[in-house]
Amino acid sequence: MSPLPKTIQKILKKVLDRRNFFLYYIGMLLEDARTLALLHMEEHGVDDEFTFEFENCKRTLGRCHYLAKKITLSKWYAELNDEEEVEDTILHEIAHALAWTHNKFTGHGKIWKDWARKVGATPKACCKYDLAQPKNHYKYEQTCCGVTYKRHRLRKNATYRCPNCKEKLFK
């Protein structure tokens, strides 16, 4: 079998270079993040009780839903941040699942910190502040009287007003 023609080799190299550029500079692919989460869940024995899903959250990296028995990861943060940060978030949430399963403990206290160390997560409640965030972070934005007001969602039957001039916001 003869080697690929030079033009095809160049095209493949460009495609692979672009994918590697994306992964290095932009973040993870969602399927890679899902695979990583499921492998860690299996490794730490929570895959039989907890499921994994992506969420559309923009203010949290991940969450452990104790009663619904699921671990979720923000698709925004998974796509925008590198594998190391995403993996630490997955392990953080697995530590919550283990603290709940074994100790019925919620929160970021001593029991959770012990589990976080056991699974290899950073035993801190908050993430680093230098993580990439989505550019279109807020769905609703309006400027009035020199102040920009931002909301992720609007409550039903609520009226939003500028505190200075009382003009209606988010019409």
What percent of the chain stands above pLDDT 90? 54
Matching residue, tokens 């095809």: 8
38 or 133, which is more confident: 38
pLDDT tens digits for range 3-53: 656 776 666 666 556 555 555 545 578 999 999 999 999 999 999 999 999
| Cα distances (angstroms) measured from residue 93 to each of 44, 51, 69, 122 | 11, 12, 12, 11
pLDDT confidence of residue 25: 47
Q: Whole-structure pTM over 0.85, yes or no?
A: no
Structure tokens at 103: 């100790």
Higher pLDDT, 159 or 17: 159
Predicted pLDDT at 130: 67
Helix (H) or strand (E) holding 126: none
Residues 40/20, Cβ–Cβ less than 8 Å: no
Quick check: helix, strand or coil at residue 70? strand
pLDDT score of 2: 53
The mean pLDDT of 77-98, rounded to a whole number, is 92
Three-state DSSP state, 72 = strand
Q: What's the rounded mean pLDDT across residues 92-108? A: 96
Measuring CA to CA, how many Å separate 168 from each of 146, 155, 162, 163? 15, 14, 7, 10
- 162 versus 134: the higher-pLDDT residue is 162
Q: Residue 17 has which token pair?
A: 């270079």
In sequence order, which residues have a C-beta less than 8 Å from that of residue 160 and are 6 or more positions away? 149, 151, 154, 168, 169, 170
Alpha-carbon dihedral sign for residues 4, 6, 8, 9: positive
pLDDT at 109 over 90: yes
Best CA proximity match to 51, nearest among 85, 81, 89, 93: 93
* Structural domain spans, the chain: 9-119, 140-169
Fold exhibited by the domain 9-119: Zincin-like (3.30.2010)
Rounded Cα distance between 81 and 62, Å, is 13
Instruction: Indicate if the pLDDT at residue 142 is higher than 70.
Output: yes
Least confident of 3-7, 90-94, 106-110, 124-128: 3-7
